[in-house]
Structure formats: C-alpha cells, structure tokens
Structure 1
Amino acid sequence: MRQLSPRATLHTIGCRLNQAETALLADRLKRDGYTLVEFGHPTDLLVLNTCSVTVGAESDCRHLVRRTLRHSPHAFVAVTGCYAQTGAEALRRVPGIDLIVGTQYKMHLPDYLPTPATLQKPAEPQVLHARSIDREDFVLPGTGDYEATRANLKIQDGCNFMCSFCIIPFARGHERSRRLDDILREAQALVARGHQELVLTGVNIGQFHQGTHSLLDLIQQLEQVAGVERIRISSIEPTTIPMELLDYMATSSKLCRYLHVPLQSGDDRILKAMNRRYTVREYVSFIEQAVRSVPDLGLGTDVMVGFPGEGEQEFANTLALASDLPFFYCHVFSFSKRPSTAAARMRNTVHSAEVKARSRTLSELSRAKRLAFYQKHIGRRVKVLFESRDVTGRWTGLTGNYIRVAVSAPEDLSNCLRDVTITGAMDGLALGHLAKGDPLS
C-alpha cells in the first residue's frame, strides 16, 4: 500500500544548470503533493536528471536506476536531461525506466506523470522526445527548491559555439535566453525563501541577451532586488566577457569577484582542432586584463586532457600555461568521445594510461595553486556566507572570490554573512575566526 503522501526522489548528474532545473522540478512535485526524500531511501518516484558530456555520466544513469529499483522495486522511474535527448533509444532498453523526457519537454515533466494516486509502472516506457528544440526566449515555471544558502538561477540555455568535442549543442539546442521579467520574478521568490546568494547559470551565459539587455544589464537589475547580497557568475566563455563587465565587477559590492573561464588547452594547434574561439595569446591577454581590472579576483578554469592529437609537447604547453596563469584551481577532465561531434571522427587518440597520468599531474598542480591562493589570504579580513557544519563541527562557507573557509563557533551561523579573519590554510580549506567587531565574535 502506498503512503498517503507519495515519496519522490530527484537526483542530478552533471552541471550546475542541471541542478537548477532539478530544483524547479522539485518545487513543482512538492506543490503536486509529493514528499521529497533523499536519494538512496525508499521512494515511489525517481526523477533522474542526466548528463551526456561523458560516457561515464551515461553509465552513472543506468547504475542509479538499478540501485533505486533494488530498494524500491515498484518505483516509477522518469529520466530526463541531456542523455534523455541524445540517448533516448538506449534508455528505452534499460529495464525499469518508465518515462523518458527529452529537452523540449523537460521542464513540464510532472505533467506527463501519472497522478500521485495512480503512480504505477507501465508495461512499456513512454518516450517524449523531439529532435527540434525551441529557439525562442523562454520562461520557467515555479521557483527552485534549495536547501543550501546559495541558489542557482537559470538565465540561458543552449549553445551555438560548436566546440568539436562537445555534445551539448545536440542535447540542448541553439542558444536562447530566459525572459528578463521571469528571471527577476524567480530571484525575488528565492530571496523571499532566504537565499542571499544567486548563482547565474546556463550553457553559455555570456551570450545572454533580452532585447537590448545584456548580461551586465541583468546583473544590475538583480542587484536592485531587495535581499540579494551576492550575485555570482558561473562558468563563462572568455570571448563573451566585455571589459565593461570586468570594470563593474571591480566596483560592485554585490557581484562576486570570481570568474570560472574555461581554457581547455594551452596549445594553439589543439585549440584550433577543438574549434575554440581564441588563441593562447588572446586567452592570456584576457586573463591579464581581468586580473588587472578586478582586485583579488578568484580565477578558475577547465582543462581537458587526452584530446585527439595531444602529444607530449602539446600537453607540456598546457601544463606550463596552467602553471603560469593565476588560476587558483583547475577542473581537470578527460576527453570523452561523443557521438555526432567532430572530435569523434578524429584519429591519433591518446592512450588511457597517458590520459590518467596527465590528469594526475594537472590535479596536483591545481591543489598546489589552491593552497597558495588560500595562504596569500592569511591575515586578511573577508566576508563569508556560511552554509553548514563540516564533519568536525566547524562552520564552513564561501568568500566572494570562492575561498572555502572554516571557523569554530558555538552559534548557528547557517546562512549568515560574517566578517572572518583568515588565520591558516590547508588542502582545500582556509581556517579563520570571526573578526573582532563582528556581533558574534
């Protein structure tokens, strides 16, 4: 017999944009009468928001379905996200999946579920899929449901850049922007729920435009929303960041001094093969300009290893550039052959053992650079938006430039923005105490 209030589990594989969309689906399911339970607990409904960036992400999807059905064999399983768009036929063959919802219908997934009272597994899976994806500006239903102090705010979708390794244009379609009034509506609702930091997210957010309104115009309007303390830009392409945005970041009290700017490779030949829109010199010029313009900028990047044709010299060029530039972390990931992409047809693949070795080398560099960046802040007073206690009982949170800070304090600091003096640093964490003059110090 089902519970009076059916249970729903939502699980996200992949990027911050997927997380934002899952949060919107969670909000709708709660309004429809579901009780949300954590993944791994018995449930009546599993909504799996998938990724197709790598082969591993697709494998994770199939594993998570099997894992859920082991403890909840009668659970209705709905799969959406990028893998549902690019691999619908493969998902149709996975035992236990009941509903497959492609990109065009994703945000209306709850409309295609049986009613909570009649939630039963069908004999055959239903597939809602369209090759053509809308190109028009869009609105989104509801307000993202988040437990964290920070909330993701989707402002854009799709991409026209067509990097040779990337399947996302096939999974999400052409670039399009969310209507400005709808972004502001959700921002106001998120603040009303207590979120002080909004993280702007999309596939290619630097391409956001609404009529004559640019990304900078959007940020300036979001800063006027009462209760917004911080606005953070998520991953953004270097060729889409105007000087005006850097100048504004340098003076704004609410726009975080943080940029995650994908590099992918430090070799011009590989960048050209990737169909990236810059040379090494152009990328370096942008980074130097950003660091000059924005004091104490927190700078992160993505680096791909193992792209076809990446030999020892090409990797050495990437390693040297990643070492020289003032990143304080590198998100390192391996090339994954994706169907329909230009890179899938390229030869001169890199041996998996070499890919792993290169990944380890870059990851070690990233850890060292993060520690050095944190150590540079010892003795400084910074503002930290606290989130939760860690396993040791310390309160942890983030600075505007993305340093994770831990302090010991008996008070409840959850969702509190406090001044902290940084006193030390360790791998992945800065240590500090509430600054003198703070009400709780």
Structure 2
Amino acid sequence: MTDNTPKKRAAIHTLGCRLNQAESGLLAEQLAGAGYEMVPFGDRADLGVIHTCTVTREADAKSRQMVRQFIRANPGARTVVIGCYAQREAEALARLEGVDLVLGNAEKMHLLRHLAALDAGRGPHVLDARPARAPFTVPWPQEGPAVTRRMNLKIQDGCDFMCSFCIIPFARGRSRPRRFDDLTAEAASLVRRGALELVLTGVNVGDYAHGKRRLPDVVDALNALAPLRRIRIGSIELTTIAPGLLERMADPAHRLVPYLHVPLQSGSDRILQAMRRNHTRGEYLELLGRAAATVPDIGLGADIMTGFPGETEADFEDSRRLVHESPLSYLHVFKYSERKGSAASRLPDKTDPAAASARSVVLRALGAEKTRAFQERHLGRRVGVLFEDIEDGWWTGLTGNYLRVGVRCDGNLRNRIGWVSVEAVGRDFLTGTLDGPAV
C-alpha cells in the first residue's frame, strides 16, 4: 500500500475464551504491520475476521450470527472465519454466501499468508487440519505500538484431559507447549513496549512442559523482566498446580499475583466422576483451604456447571454447599450444553432445562454474595490498582487479587499502578480515593 493509496480497513470480532483474545491481539498486530487500519467491529471494513468459539451451542449460534452480520454490513468485503467453530464446522461455514476463507486452529495464525494466496487466486479456501502435537512458536511482531493495557501471553494450546462434556480437545488438539525461548522473547518485547501485567493463557496452562521447563520456570523467567509489575495465571486445573506456585504468590518480592481461577464444574463426586474430572470434591476444598491459608487475601474463582446429565437435586445441593463453605470469591456459572461428539452427549437421564436454569440462578446469587463478602473485607484498606479505562468519570482497574476498583481523577491513569484507599462497595466495583503515586 503506497502513501497515496487509502489503507484497507480490517476488523476482528472475538468470541469465547481469553486464549482467543490473545490470538486475536496477535492477528491485529500482524494486520496492522501489513498496512491495514484496524477498526472496531461494526465500522465499515474491507476485511472482517470472525474468531469463533464452540464451547456451547449458544457459542456456535453466536459465531454464525456474527459472520452473517459482517457480510450484510460490508458487501464486497473479504470475510474470514477462524477458530474452534471453524475447526469443527469448516465446510458448513464455507457454504455461507460471502465467506471467503475458513481457517482452523492449525492455520489461523498464518492469516496473512492465506490472504495473499486468496488475492493471488490460489486455494484452498478451507483449511481445517488438526493441529500437530509438537512445541510451537507464535508469529508475533518484533516491534509494535506502545502497550497501554494488561496483555495476554499465550504459552500453551490443546488439552489431554478429555472431560466428558468438553469438545475443545477436538477443536484445539492435544496439549502442546509454546517454545520457551519464543514466549519469553515475546514477553520481553511486551514489557519493553510498556506492559505492566502479563496474563498467562492457554487451554491447560498448568500442563506446560517444554523440555525440562514447567510452568514455575515460565513464571520465574517473567519475574526477572523489569519493569514488569504483575504476572497472572489466567486459569489452571487443580491437578496441575505445581509445588511452589502458592509460595510464589505469598512472596511480596515475587510478581506472581495472589489469584487462582480453578475450574470446579460440580461439587458432587458422582457427577465429577461422570464428567471425567481429575479431582474429587474433597481435593478441591483442600486446595482452596491451602491456598487461603498460604496466600493472604488470595482471589479464588471457579467455573461451575448446572444441568449435567443425571444431575439430581442432591448433586446440586452438593455443589451449592461446596460454594457456600469454601473461600471462593467469585463464580462463573453456566448451564450444560450438549456437544455433538463428546462422551457426555451419549449419556442418558438428560436434566430438565428449566431445572438447570433455576439452579444457575441460585448459584449466581450465591456467587454474588461471595463476591460482595470478599469486597467488604477490603473496606478501609489500601490496595494497588492497575488502571485500565475511564467511564462516566471513573477510572477503573484491577487489584492483584482480581477486585475491580474505581476512583475519580482528572489525570490520565491508563496503564498506571496507583494506591487506593477503599471506601465503599459500589454497584459494579469498589470505590475509593487515590492515595499514592500512580506510576
């Protein structure tokens, strides 16, 4: 694109998990480096990339909806569909009028190469090969714009756990690590560009293993990157929490923040077994208790499901009681969604959808109570906040233990860490007064 030629405009819409978000961020930087002007999805664009999700039937439907929405709003534009739903339903997506390119998870990070082939009239236009089980690298830009937000760092992909309800191993493939030298090089680049917090992302990050390197080695390598201030593990399975991780969180000199999101899915041992989870109810409670005892004020989150096939009121009560008795500080509650090809899709005794919905309402209310109690524990305290955005006069950001905090300030606090004296629990976040330099 010459100086006299208007830049082509590209938009990316991302559905689903933090890993998708991390990959979309890298694709946006690739497109910008190739001369595209990145615009918000919904603005007029010459290229639309829809990064799909397939974790639930609702995610499938939303993915199709966003593809059609872009095509209707941008006649004549290039439409590319990538990600997990593209991996599972590539041919069906390719048959949608207006779709130019469908890339599964093995090919999506090579988007620029496939766009060039498309421009040259070369195919194929559908690439849905399963990802190879081998250490991988990520095409990240050597140089880029200044970073002004928390950044995701992809360290792993795929999963070997094969939970009976989950289709993601079929969409993402088997567990495989990102090369250690590649991820640390990108991390160093992000820090040079201004990143103060890196969030480690993957499908099963605790399963990271590249040679003799394990997740604690990744954490320690990033800990040596000044001026990085925070390292956060996005989500981790209970059975993969390595010795020493909690102690690193408890060490004030270490940058690993006091935060764990540990998927639970059910508080019933009978249902956990049917789900093919690798832990029991007792093991989960033991981990949470040990974390709370080792790391003061640790933020503890969980995913929990209602309506799994065969779930009875007694099973649900086990889940409710576990949440009530535990030190969890927030919940992500969702209803079971049958996925064709998963082991659970063949189970009998489907749960009544109305019962699953009612149970979700109960757990969400309990989760809100747990979150509020955790917030109230911080009233009158002084907490460090990494500010991200301003809305309606409030600068908001996150503490290390994942509490959202807001202050009113005339200055620019974006991507700065400041001390806040917490004064009240607001509707959407804690509120307080800036009480220390924002640096």
With the length of structure 2 as denominator, give the TM-score of the two structures.
Answer: 0.95
Instruction: Tell me the equivalent position of 2:15.
Output: 13
The answer as to whether partners of 1:24 and 1:145 remain within 8 angstroms in 2 is: no
Between the aligned partners of 2:333 and 2:68, the Cα distance in structure 1 is 29
Q: Secondary structure at the match of 2:256?
A: coil
Task: Give the aligned residue type for 1:96.
Answer: G
Counterpart pick for 1:73 among 61, 72, 75: 75
Distance in 2 separating the partners of 1:191 and 1:160: 32
C-alpha contact (below 8 Å) 1:257/1:297 kept by paired residues:
yes
Separation in 1 of the partners of 2:319 and 2:260?
19
Name the CA distance, whole Å, in 2 between partners of 1:63 and 1:205. 30
Determine the structure 1 residue equivalent to 2:300. Answer: 299
In 2 relative to 1, CA 272–51 (structure 1 residues): closer, same or farther, beyond 3 Å? same
- Check conservation: 1:196, 1:229, Cα contact below 8 A: yes
Is the 1:367–1:428 contact (alpha carbons within 8 Å) kept by the matching residues of 2? no
Residue 129 (structure 1) aligns with? 128
Partner AA of 1:343 in structure 2: A
Which amino acid in 1 is paired with 2:318?
N
What is the deviation of 1:114?
Answer: 3.8
Secondary structure of 1:262's aligned partner? coil
User: Is the contact made by 1:62 and 1:94 (CA closer than 8 Å) also made in structure 2?
Assistant: no
Contact 1:137 1:179 in 2 (8 A): yes
SS for the counterpart of 2:113 is helix
Q: Which residue of 1 aligns with 2:250?
A: 250
Q: Report deviation, 1:119.
A: 9.3
The residue that corresponds to 2:222 in the other structure is 222
Q: Does 1:333 align with 2:334?
A: yes
What letter is aligned with 2:241? I
Structure 2 equivalent of residue 353 of structure 1: 354
Check conservation: 2:146, 2:193, Cα contact below 8 A.
no
Q: Secondary structure at the match of 2:415?
A: coil
Please give the per-residue CA displacement for 1:196-255, whole angstroms capped at 9, x wherever unaligned.
100000000001112111111111110111221100001100111023111121114311
Q: How does 1:17-56 map to 2 (within 5 A)?
A: 17-56=19-58
Partner of 1:416: 416
- Where does 1:85-124 land on structure 2 (aligned, <5 Å)? 85-114=87-116
User: Structure 2: where are the runs of 5+ without partners?
Assistant: none
Give the 3-state SS of the residue equivalent to 2:107 in structure 1: helix
Cα RMSD (Å) of the superposition?
2.0
Write the letter of the residue equivalent to 1:398: L
Alignment of structure 1 residues 164-243 onto 2, 5 Å: 164-243=164-243
Residue 280 of structure 1: CA displacement? 0.6
Compare 343-352 and 397-406 and name the one that shifted more: 343-352
Give 1:21 shift: 0.6
- Work out the CA distance in 2 between the residues paired with 1:216 and 1:273: 31
| Secondary structure, counterpart of 1:113 in structure 2 | helix
- Partner SS, residue 243 of structure 1: coil
- Distance in 1, matches of 2:357 and 2:100, equals 37
Give me the whole-angstrom Cα distance separating, in 2, the residues matched to 1:170 and 1:439.
Answer: 48
Residue 235 of structure 1 aligns to a residue whose secondary structure is coil
* Cα separation, 2, equivalents of 1:377 and 1:119: 59
| Counterpart-to-counterpart distance in 1, 2:21 and 2:146 | 10
| Amino acid paired to 2:247 | D
Query: 5 Å matches for 1:263-412?
Result: 263-390=264-391, 392-412=392-412
Percentage of pairs with the same residue = 48
Distance 1:69 1:212, change over 3 A: same
Verify the 8 A CA contact 1:142 1:186 in the aligned structure 2. yes
Distance 2:282 2:375 in 1: 28
Using a 3 Å threshold, how does the CA distance of structure 1 residues 3 and 338 change in structure 2: closer, same or farther? Answer: farther
